[in-house]
Structure 1
Amino acid sequence: MRRVPPAVMRASMRVVTRASTGAALLVLAACGWGAHDDGRGERLPSAPLGVTAAAGSATSVHVMWNLASGDPQVTRYEVFRGTTKVKDVPGAEHMVDITRLTPSTTYVFTVRARSAAGDLGPPSKQVRATTPAAVAADRTAPTRPGRPHGKAVGSRAAQLSWEKSTDDRAVASYDIYQGASKIHSVGGAQTATVVTGLRPGTRYSFTVRARDAADNLSPGSDAVRLTTAPGADDGQGTAPTGFRARTHRADRAYYIDLSWVAPEVDGVITEYRIHLDGRAVTSLVWGGTPPRGTSRYSFYVGRDAGVTHRVRIRAKLPDGTWGGFSAERTVTTGTTGTTGNQR
């Protein structure tokens, strides 16, 4: 793993390392990162991260991305199918269904953010989705999802699960509703999800409906009613797990080596923020496919032995909100040769 010198920590953005899985990683300074300049001194929105696309039926695809944060303010997202813009989405939303598609066809989607000043940012990475084959004369809807269950995860998230529906062909996707509003879709093989971005101390009602390739929609499941915890909390249900920190010495300098497992949320985790000694110091963005299993990262902390540091990490969730902090680890440079103490 490539080591990160102080100059890189001060850079606005550049590729600095690779994870053990081979996924490219970007390191961004804690302040002033993410936006581009249009040549006139105006800041452009960043390319949306965490973009995914999944077929919802033979004629529809569900596209989802992480909300942008920081300056400039994003007022809307533009979704493109190939080079054709197909949807405008308000800046507070991060998903959309693209309909009227052709069965058995592969589509390529990108998302671009537009600022309040009207400036359009660069496109996201391309994502592909293939619609299933159409089923002739299929007018039979799937059965309603059974035995739905849910629980609040702190003040801003909820875990939902249900028993799978049956269909005379196959279930293509499940739609999750908050009250009367559809808020998300997952693939037909999935029977659980995590809903994030909720309000503290608020009562919610969720239902699930199954959809087949012919766009037949099942009746709604029984409602899952839950109340999020009041006030701010540590969001442990959305925190990275298995967080470890050690130090090593190389080239007469000390580095902190981190490892962690991404939180279990529905969607893609592409960005993390490291807090060192109580303040945010670095943001990490996966430039390629995020690693599966354990992620690893190493960064420079100085040349002096006997210096104690506190470190923790948090993930940016697919809906653009920040998840809970991992456990905080304490390490001391040079206490045991190449490996610092941890508790």
Structure 2
Amino acid sequence: MGLVGLVALTACTAPDTEPPPAPTGLTAQAGSATSVHVMWDAPADRAGVTRHQVFEGGRLVRELPAEKTMVDITGLAPKTGYSFTVRAEDAAGNLSGAGPAALVTTPEAKAEDRTAPTAPAATTARATGPRSARLSWEPSTDDTGVTAYDVYQGGVRIHTAGAGEKETTLTGLRPDTVYTFTVRARDGADNSSPDGPAVDVGTPPASGDGPPTAPADLTATASPRTVTLTWTAPDTGRATTEYELYVNGRPTTVIQFGAGAVPAGRVEHRLTVAEPTGTEWSVKLRARLPDGNWGAFSAERRITLVA
């Protein structure tokens, strides 16, 4: 059989010339006489953005992957004014507009200073929405003056506030998630204080953001010298290998499942107990999420131990 009327069809796709939206919430804080911390808000939807470009006075100074929304610019001059802007770039090479510039002046260089500021005190935090939290602290003191306050989460600096600030709003958080934050003060010589008090805050769930992060349907059953816990693992997109158990409001143990032994769906774990008969326990647990944060707590269950 012959082939008649064979026609080659070629799909034509119009080139992508639409730039991504400009980054918002740009701020710049002098970290020392020769460095500035620049940060901006994470977009609600990063789809299409492949990197960010940071400019000083129209000169490109840093390029960062899309997930990075803060950077330290070093090698600057003391007592000098700087103007920073940030642009987003997509996979087709389209650049966004720059948005409003962030202006900052570096402080005067000090004589050699090795004395760190005192630690911020009385840290508090409260969720202001599914993706944001408000953090506050009591100011630190320093022999040459505090220049900035750095916020850390899991040992990583995620935010910087100015010297005169006693509170700040953290954005780009994950709904239905527990975060632990600490604050350090920094002076003009880049000496950092010890951590202030750690503070936990849980963001509320948000509709349309997928399944909740809390373990579901927790049960607790007491038998002689044993407590059996069962629950349904949260749907995080990956196998959950680690849970933290609280007994009577305090963290008691971390339950870990090794490679090849990670349960899917319904999970069971047995605890050996030595407390006497009649001891009351109130138990709850939470899962370690793929991003390293703890998810929300399960419902709490009360049991009476049996010797």
Same fold by TM-score greater than 0.5: yes
TM-score normalised by L of structure 2:
0.58
The alignment status of 1:79 with 2:58, answered yes or no, reads no
CA distance in 1, matches of 2:144, 2:94: 46
The alignment status of 1:99 with 2:78, answered yes or no, reads no
Corresponding residue pairs, total: 195
Conserved 8 A contact 2:77-2:106: yes
Shift of 1:119: 2.5
CA distance in 1, matches of 2:21, 2:140: 39
Secondary structure at 1:129's aligned position in 2?
strand
The alignment status of 1:42 with 2:17, answered yes or no, reads yes
Unaligned runs of 5+ in 2: 1-13, 209-307
Shift of 1:114: 0.8
- The partner residue of 1:61 within 36, 41, 46 is 36
CA distance in 2, matches of 1:165, 1:50: 26
Shift of 1:208: 0.2
Residue 206 (structure 2) aligns with: 232
Residue 158 (structure 1) aligns with: 133
Unaligned runs of 5+ in 1: 1-38, 235-343
CA distance in 2, matches of 1:47, 1:128: 17
Residue 198 (structure 1) aligns with: 173
AA of the residue aligned to 2:181: F
CA distance in 2, matches of 1:40, 1:203: 43
Conserved 8 A contact 2:17-2:92: no
Shift of 1:117: 1.9
Secondary structure at 1:160's aligned position in 2?
strand
Residue 191 (structure 2) aligns with: 216
Conserved 8 A contact 1:72-1:116: no
Shift of 1:130: 0.4
Distance change >3 Å, CA 143–CA 70, structure 1 → 2: closer
- The partner residue of 2:143 within 168, 171, 189 is 168
CA distance in 2, matches of 1:58, 1:147: 28
Shift of 1:90: 1.9
Residue 112 (structure 1) aligns with: 87
AA of the residue aligned to 2:58: T
Residue 260 (structure 2) aligns with: none
Shift of 1:64: 2.2
The alignment status of 1:51 with 2:26, answered yes or no, reads yes
Shift of 1:87: 1.3
Secondary structure at 1:144's aligned position in 2?
coil
Conserved 8 A contact 1:45-1:71: no
- Report percent identity of matched pairs: 51
Conserved 8 A contact 1:110-1:123: yes
Instruction: Give RMSD over aligned pairs.
Output: 2.3
Conserved 8 A contact 1:57-1:214: yes
CA distance in 1, matches of 2:118, 2:23: 36
CA distance in 2, matches of 1:151, 1:41: 42
AA of the residue aligned to 1:170: G
Conserved 8 A contact 2:117-2:185: yes
Conserved 8 A contact 1:44-1:72: no
Q: Deviations over 1:50-94 (max 9, x none)?
A: 322221221211222234466971111000122322111221232
Q: Deviations over 1:78-134 (max 9, x none)?
A: 001223221112212322221221111111212111102223333333332100001
TM-score normalised by L of structure 1:
0.53
| Higher deviation after alignment, 41-50 or 104-113 | 41-50
CA distance in 1, matches of 2:75, 2:46: 35
Shift of 1:220: 0.9
